[in-house]
Structure 1
Amino acid sequence: MDPTLALLGLLGGLITGISPCILPVLPVLFLSGGAQGARLSPAGNPSRAGDTRRPYLVVAGLVLSFSVFTLLGTLVLSSLPIPETVIRWAGIIALVLLGIGMISPRFESILEKPFSRIPQRKVGTGRSGFVLGLVLGAVYVPCAGPVLAAITIAGATGTIGIGTVVLTVSFAVGTAVPLLAFALAGRAIAERAAAFRRRQRRVRVGAGIAVIALAAGLTFNLTDVVQRAIPNYTSALSEGIERAVPAPVVAPGGAPVSQELSSCVRGAWDGHADTLQDCGTAPRLTGIQRWLNTPGNGDLDLRSLRGKVVLVDFWAFSCINCQRTIEHITSWYDTYHAAGFEVIGVHTPEYTFERDTGNVIDGARRLNIDYPVALDNDYSTWNDYGVSAWPTSFLIDATGTVRQVSIGEGGYDETEQLIRTLLAEPAATTSPSQKQVP
């Protein structure tokens, strides 16, 4: 077992567990995982009668199912004749049912009936916490840091080795620590606060409402709005992990990445470049399943865009880091498009449900993306560019040369200034109306 990989996975999991991406599930963990597991007697006093395992069961179920679906979900679902979004929608429906069961004991008894013939396996027991955790892990998508990206890519492309397993296990343990601490805090408060002790029934109803609210938020993508509105207070920690990642994880099968481009990609992990570089000719866009926002949704070739400044952005619609970055990219596109600036969003799926074309179309619409989008479900273009994390962008000049590589969030002012510089170069002239930079 590689101790470096284990440490990176553990630290990456810890950062994810305290990041803004985890906030939508905290009310559920606090009320259902913590407060419902309080040791309270019928009189409302602390007692040994309660199921003290519930916080552990909820967190264990969440971490286990998330790890399994992240590592194996794409491979398993792609081999089955079922829609790629089935797990997500089944999980959301299960959340609603579990939430209603917490609110209505009569409905909960209906949910228990299929398990009534199995001794000590009723849904209403403490084991229901594990079921809730399993469902949460199946539908919840946290931020894609470099460690999680490595796990996802390996799982999606079938390149799972001992290193990937070590990363997955250590990431799961790291994520579990802060989540469990929060759930245990909820249990401790419920045991000590008089308001909780007097209102056990209301706590249970509140937990049910929180579960249903999370399901509604996931259904209508309200959780994304909340996360984008909250500053990424763990960005400095994440950047530290990014610099420690030993090497980009690139799936096999792509064209060899040039030495110049590889060097720029490695350099981008150390920070955002504020000067123009020579990273070699931009690779072609290969293996694209479908194009969006092009004339007739036809194919687009980078060579047809010579004379323009192009930003090729690798993204995934449920990636919160990508969503924050796209807010700036759409602004640049609106501002500089008339001056000869083009954007191509290469959508490479991070999770199984992101492979669905309809979901990508909806995600692009929510993010106000009007520029061309290429669906790279097989990681072909991703491989050719040597990408290893979401988001990653490549700024290409009018001659087709990559001049900047940017990984992750931040560095927006520097990138915009480089765009303006490239647009002002003599080669970036496509028509008289496009020569003037705003």
Structure 2
Amino acid sequence: MTLLILAYLGGILTIVSPCILPVLPFVFSRAGQSFSRSVLPMLAGMVLMFALVATLAAVGGSWVVQANQYGRWLALALVALFGATLLFPKLAERLTHPLVSLGDRLSQSAQGGTTAGARPGASFLLGIATGLLWAPCAGPILGLVLTGAALQGASVGTTLLLAAYAAGAATSLGLALVVGGRVFAAMKRSLGAGEWIRRGLGGLMLAGVAAIALGLDTGVLAQLSTASTGGIEQRLVDQLGAGRAATTASANAPTANATGTSAAPRAAGPSMMPVRDTTMAAADVPAPLPVEGQLPSLDGAVQWLNSPPLTAQALRGKVVLVDFWTYSCINCLRTLPYVKAWAQKYHDQGLVVIGVHAPEFAFERDIGNVKKAVHDLGVDYPVAIDNNFAIWRGFHNQYWPAHYFIDAQGRVRYHHFGEGNYAESERVIQQLLREAGASQVASGIANVQASGIQQAADMRDVRSPETYVGYERAENFASPGGAVHDQASDYRAPSTPSLNQWGLAGDWRVGPERATSMQAGTRIVYRFHARDLHLVLGPNANGQPVRFRVTVDGRAPGDAHGTDVGADGAGIVASQRLYQLVRQSGDVRDRTFSIEFLDPGVSAYAFTFG
């Protein structure tokens, strides 16, 4: 029941979402007309189309995304026609007779000169077009509903949640129509401005079409608006403790901790969380390589970068390396130089490398974020965005990073989880290329010189484990009184933390996935032992940068500063990603790290070490 209520509330909040603003003129074109013959059919058409798109997105594949894009352009054309008939009533006279007839009907319906003249069919059609434009404005709550359906399969519960979300949106839009109708009626009585109102609505509709066509509904408006609902919806999501739903998967095997030793998997509600395997121990490559299974379908990707969609059938005859990664995972980033080297070295001999980006944190589901990371990291091979974990499930995968090696017959022949074993993995590539008939396969091992954040960890000196800041998986939290879940609270940092203890200082809101700073001057303190310290951070809810200052043992880091920090400890959180804050060049010993945020709104997700 709680889920249904939150889904309904999430739908209500859609009315103030930035990208819904260009759609509102289409809605207000019904204001002041008969509720049963005009307003209700439009809302019904809009909710029906939205529910249809959302349901297909929950159970369909990449073709649904493409179909929805074509549908949006069709909807834009239809709404533009409505707007033109409102703005230029004589336009219909200049068209051919069928279009004149259609334009007159649409114009009369959109103008709604009288209550009796309102046409339910045209209102329903406008509602369908509006629904196609509105569906992409959904926020975090709907994202969780769709993700849950993709991971667990469609169900009656999913359908009810979608219906609740759509009903909430219809409620808020219906109220807007009632209010809008009264305002327009008052203007007509006092000013006699009915004709100008009609033309104004037509102009606004055409402006909205232009804004959506140019991407301003999700771009510029999202940056300018102060009424973004993402943060509000995320707070509702956090109340459920469901912020991790996007990365929930079944785990049937032991996982590994930061030192590479076997450990029991952690529970996360009814199922287990996939984890990062950082195993560094060497493993012998079996000879001959056994057959572990067939290459699963790749159709579940929601989008492909650097390539058109690839299929298992089209890859026959090629040796394929599938790399499961996510862009804020330090272990993934440290394997990336080797994967890129193999992709370049063996491309002409028949190797195809596919990066499957499966998000760990909610912000990694944002395709724009992934595109930027792919560009910044210099990844030029195909990347499948696996936001629904369809490809992940097809491989029965449980780890970041994970590498699967497929032969030219489409058979999985070898796999490796975590960092390390690079020489063995490259020899597997060479063996599979020879089996496929490639000539003059290089026998040497790639000489990879990684630097910066991608440099291999010095595991001999790593005594601090990966540490999550959100309460769902947090450990060793040492602020007095413990963490207060899902509400703002004033924290004090531990005065003398022991190794691997950490705490917050100032006003923070701790959710299941992250902690969010509620004021300037907040801090995070961590007593660690490692060469490198990284922290996954994001700017404030409006995307505005957050300045910070780092100290190590109470002083500016100097030569121990990371790539994202100056020697004076100053830095800026400008995007949602992993930041390297400390890299020591001398002796590694227990040190106390502190980061102070000079602006409010930063989100902190997880510490990693190397």
SS of the residue corresponding to residue 208 of structure 2 reads helix
Give, in angstroms, the shift of residue 74 of structure 1.
6.7
Letter in 1 for 2:376: D
Give, in angstroms, the shift of residue 299 of structure 1.
7.5
CA contact (8 A) 1:146 1:245 kept: no
Give, in angstroms, the shift of residue 175 of structure 1.
1.4
SS of the residue corresponding to residue 223 of structure 1 reads coil
Letter in 2 for 1:99: G
Give the alignment partner of residue 376 of structure 2, picking from 370, 374, 379.
370
Map 1:196-275 to 2 at 5 A.
198-224=192-218, 225-232=220-227, 234=229, 237-245=232-240, 247=242, 248-249=244-245
Q: Normalising to structure 1: TM-score of the pair?
A: 0.59
* Aligned twin of 1:159: 153
The range that moved more, 225-234 or 75-84, is: 75-84
CA contact (8 A) 1:376 1:382 kept: no
Give, in angstroms, the shift of residue 164 of structure 1.
0.3
Q: Normalising to structure 2: TM-score of the pair?
A: 0.44
* Aligned twin of 1:68: 52
* Aligned twin of 2:495: none
State how far apart, in whole Å, the 2-side matches of 1:363 and 1:379 are.
Answer: 15
SS of the residue corresponding to residue 376 of structure 2 reads coil
Map 1:178-197 to 2 at 5 A.
178-194=172-188
The range that moved more, 3-12 or 19-28, is: 19-28
Letter in 2 for 1:370: D
* Aligned twin of 2:76: 92
* Aligned twin of 2:169: 175
* Aligned twin of 2:141: 147
Map 1:247-326 to 2 at 5 A.
247=242, 248-249=244-245, 280-281=276-277, 290-292=304-306, 310=333
State how far apart, in whole Å, the 2-side matches of 1:110 and 1:362 are.
Answer: 46
* Aligned twin of 1:27: 25
Give the alignment partner of residue 55 of structure 1, picking from 39, 53, 56.
39
CA contact (8 A) 1:71 1:151 kept: no
Letter in 2 for 1:60: A
Say which one has the larger Rg: 2
The range that moved more, 57-66 or 104-113, is: 104-113
State how far apart, in whole Å, the 2-side matches of 1:68 and 1:172 are.
Answer: 11
Query: Deviation per CA, 1:59-99, whole angstroms, max 9, x where unpaired?
Result: 33222211211112575686799866321221111121222
Q: Residues 124 and 178 from structure 1, CA distance in 2 versus in 1: closer, same or farther, beyond 3 angstroms?
A: closer
Q: Which has the higher strand share?
A: 2
State how far apart, in whole Å, the 2-side matches of 1:239 and 1:96 are.
Answer: 34
Letter in 1 for 2:40: Y
SS of the residue corresponding to residue 424 of structure 1 reads strand
CA contact (8 A) 2:57 2:64 kept: no
Query: Deviation per CA, 1:186-233, whole angstroms, max 9, x where unpaired?
Result: 111111224776122222222222222111111110112112222355
Letter in 2 for 1:87: G
Query: Deviation per CA, 1:371-423, whole angstroms, max 9, x where unpaired?
Result: 45733246347766799xxxxxxx99954975547858966997457976855
Give, in angstroms, the shift of residue 292 of structure 1.
4.0
Give, in angstroms, the shift of residue 165 of structure 1.
0.9
Unaligned runs of 5+ in 1: 38-49, 267-278, 313-343, 349-354, 388-394, 429-438
Q: Which has the higher helix share?
A: 1
State how far apart, in whole Å, the 2-side matches of 1:110 and 1:148 are.
Answer: 41
Structure showing greater relative contact order (alpha-carbon pairs closer than 8 Å, 6 or more residues apart): 1
Q: Residues 171 and 86 from structure 1, CA distance in 2 versus in 1: closer, same or farther, beyond 3 angstroms?
A: same
SS of the residue corresponding to residue 5 of structure 1 reads helix
Give, in angstroms, the shift of residue 163 of structure 1.
1.0
CA contact (8 A) 1:282 1:396 kept: no
Give, in angstroms, the shift of residue 5 of structure 1.
2.6
State how far apart, in whole Å, the 2-side matches of 1:161 and 1:281 are.
Answer: 32
Give the alignment partner of residue 424 of structure 1, picking from 571, 582, 590.
582
State how far apart, in whole Å, the 2-side matches of 1:252 and 1:183 are.
Answer: 40
CA contact (8 A) 1:103 1:205 kept: yes
State how far apart, in whole Å, the 1-side matches of 2:585 and 2:466 are.
Answer: 14
CA contact (8 A) 1:59 1:133 kept: yes
SS of the residue corresponding to residue 222 of structure 1 reads coil
Report how many aligned residue pairs link the two structures: 344
Identity %: 21
State how far apart, in whole Å, the 1-side matches of 2:159 and 2:329 are.
Answer: 43
Q: Given the alignment of the two structures, is residue 379 of structure 1 paired with residue 389 of structure 2, yes or no?
A: yes
State how far apart, in whole Å, the 1-side matches of 2:76 and 2:182 are.
Answer: 29
The range that moved more, 20-29 or 79-88, is: 79-88
The range that moved more, 164-173 or 144-153, is: 144-153
CA contact (8 A) 2:87 2:199 kept: yes
CA contact (8 A) 2:8 2:164 kept: yes
Give, in angstroms, the shift of residue 246 of structure 1.
5.6
State how far apart, in whole Å, the 2-side matches of 1:92 and 1:363 are.
Answer: 27
Give, in angstroms, the shift of residue 4 of structure 1.
2.5
Letter in 2 for 1:424: V
Q: Residues 221 and 411 from structure 1, CA distance in 2 versus in 1: closer, same or farther, beyond 3 angstroms?
A: farther
Alpha-carbon RMSD: 5.4
State how far apart, in whole Å, the 1-side matches of 2:91 and 2:204 are.
Answer: 17
